[in-house]
Amino acid sequence: MDPTFYRTPADAMAAPAEQLAYVVGLDPAHKKEEAIFVVDLDRSSSSYGRVIHATKVPAGSELHHFGWNACSSALKHEGHDATNLQRRYLLVPALRSSNIFVVDTAPDPRRPSLVKTIPAAALASQAGYSRPHTVHCGPSGVFVTCLGSGGATASDDGNGPGGIALLDHDSFDVVRAWETQRGPQHFHYDAWWHLNRNTLVSSEWGSPAMFEDGLVPELLLANKYGHALHFWDLGRGRHVQRIDLGEEHQMVLEVRPSHDPEATWGFVGVVVSTADLSGSIWRWYLDEEESDEGKRWKLEKVITIPAQKVDDASSLPPLLQPFGGAVPPIITDIDLSVDDRYLYVSCWVTGELKQYDVSDPKHPKETGSVRLGGVFDPAAHPSRPDQPLGGGPQMVEVSRDGRRIYFTNSLYSSWDDQFYPKGVGAWMAKADVLPGGGLKVDKDFFLSDGDFKGLRVHQIRLQGGDASTDSYCYRSATRANI
């Protein structure tokens, strides 16, 4: 059995540290080939902190998120023999072209190869979807969230309901749409689950017309982007409950359930409030008290990050100038450590990566912060103090042991250009988690523009799994005793 299939979160934390990172690179002009970069993370290696390989894919892809063909949740998948199964293939969706690339990390994980392309036409014809996004290996196949409809007919512009496509675990062929009863859900973005509670949680961004060419200010100010969270019967693909956060809470994005397989809570990030330009983090939980409708899921806001103020609004990007110098944090990613102790929040526009102690998930406490980039007074990396950075902490990945935080700076090509019109560049940095809490940027780890061959970089995946790839089937012993 693959040793990177961990029975418990504690097993994952105790496993050997990551040796490699896989990082997707995209061309904002959609003219050059894009790539999955391999970065050496082995401190004993002569190539530590450097790109050692690039697996190319066609231009026009807009690589964005990606995931493994199999993870620790395979230990409980019915009808799925984990004996010979491996965490081997990376499934890499192209958010713009709607193709999905299958990349084989064997036999040499330092030099993965492209072995299959799932064409957009297959995704449209078999599942009725386009714009594939999040990938998770699940109990009935590989789950791929999709932000658009299939565009299979002349009248379908792709802006119909998004949803989840199921891929075959072994061949990766598109099988069907996962949903059997959609209910009121239309927008889609991210999805994950409480595996032992037969519950999937999904979130909302918007339809392709609302994001592909950039943020549409008129739609944002009219509260037209997604502002709800959805709960589903995982086994049957049936919609169970929709919770509206309030229309001012625009763009409900990354969902991060507790890693404890018996828990019934998690966090979701909201990009911005049109009421005051703040960003926020919400906790969902199952109300154990029975109602006439049975047990119901609930939401509560547990973190608010206010907008910051600059004196000269004219120094800001044109998109932000009408707000009189107020600068929203723009929460674009969150990540929860495997032990559920720390939540990391990227404030992409103010350039901050924040750490919260969520040992008590009802009452998070900020315990650390680092700053790189940002739209005002852009901060430099300590290794290059005279070079202020474009962009800000965006995609965040946490090592299994919770000691290392890796992050990149590109959100989405058209949005990069709106918020950072002087140039976003490309960079990848690392912060170390201090004993007892807190963060410190690692001055010895920094990759930038030339390292990535002129491509911008988005999501990171760590060899052997990371904090946002795996669902666990069994409780850690320490959890069981709480």
| Predicted TM-score (pTM) of this structure | 0.97
**How confident is the model at residue 478, as a pLDDT?**
61
**How confident is the model at residue 482, as a pLDDT?**
33
Dihedrals phi, psi of 449, to nearest 5 degrees: -25, -65
| Position 292 confidence tier, pLDDT thresholds 50, 70, 90 | low
**Cis bond before residue 107 (omega within 30° of 0):** yes
**How confident is the model at residue 291, as a pLDDT?**
65
Q: Amino acid letter at 427?
A: W
Residue 310 has pLDDT above 60, yes or no: yes
**How confident is the model at residue 79, as a pLDDT?**
60
Rounded to 5°, the CA angle 229-319-427 comes to 75
Rounded to 5°, the CA angle 51-425-386 comes to 95
Residue 198 has pLDDT above 60, yes or no: yes
What is the rounded distance in angstroms from the CA atom of residue 214 to the CA atom of residue 225?
13
| 74 DSSP assignment | G
Mean pLDDT to the nearest integer, 25-35: 98
Q: Which residue shows structure tokens 């707000």?
A: 323
Q: Which residue shows structure tokens 């658009």?
A: 148
**CA distances for 304 relative to 10, 159, 424, angstroms:** 30, 31, 26
Beta bridge pairs of residue 296:
287
**How confident is the model at residue 219, as a pLDDT?**
98
Reported as a single tens digit per residue, the pLDDT across 109-160 is: 999 999 999 999 999 999 999 999 999 999 999 999 999 999 655 456 788 8
Instruction: Please choose, from the candidates 303, 309, 300, the residue with its C-alpha nearest in 3D space to the C-alpha of residue 356.
Output: 303
Mean pLDDT to the nearest integer, 268-295: 91
> Residue 440: helix, strand or coil by DSSP?
strand
Environment class of residue 76 by beta-carbon count within 10 Å: exposed (0-12), middle (13-18) or buried (19+)? middle
What is the rounded distance in angstroms from the CA atom of residue 218 to the CA atom of residue 224?
9
Q: Amino acid letter at 423?
A: G
Reported as a single tens digit per residue, the pLDDT across 14-28 is: 999 999 999 999 999
Domain boundaries, the chain: 9-480
Reported as a single tens digit per residue, the pLDDT across 438-470 is: 999 999 999 999 999 999 999 999 999 999 999
Mean pLDDT to the nearest integer, 220-236: 98
Mean pLDDT to the nearest integer, 474-480: 72
The correct CATH number of 9-480 out of 1.10.1060.10, 3.20.20.70, 2.130.10.10, 3.40.50.300 is 2.130.10.10
| Position 84 confidence tier, pLDDT thresholds 50, 70, 90 | confident
Environment class of residue 278 by beta-carbon count within 10 Å: exposed (0-12), middle (13-18) or buried (19+)? buried
| 158 DSSP assignment | S
Instruction: Please choose, from the candidates 13, 138, 163, the residue with its C-alpha nearest in 3D space to the C-alpha of residue 68.
Output: 138
- Quote the tokens at residue 339: 């032990």
Secondary structure E strands in 207-351: 228-233, 238-244, 249-257, 265-273, 279-291, 294-305, 308-309, 326-327, 331-336, 342-347
Residue 246 has pLDDT above 70, yes or no: yes
Mean pLDDT to the nearest integer, 216-239: 98
What is the rounded distance in angstroms from the CA atom of residue 212 to the CA atom of residue 223?
18
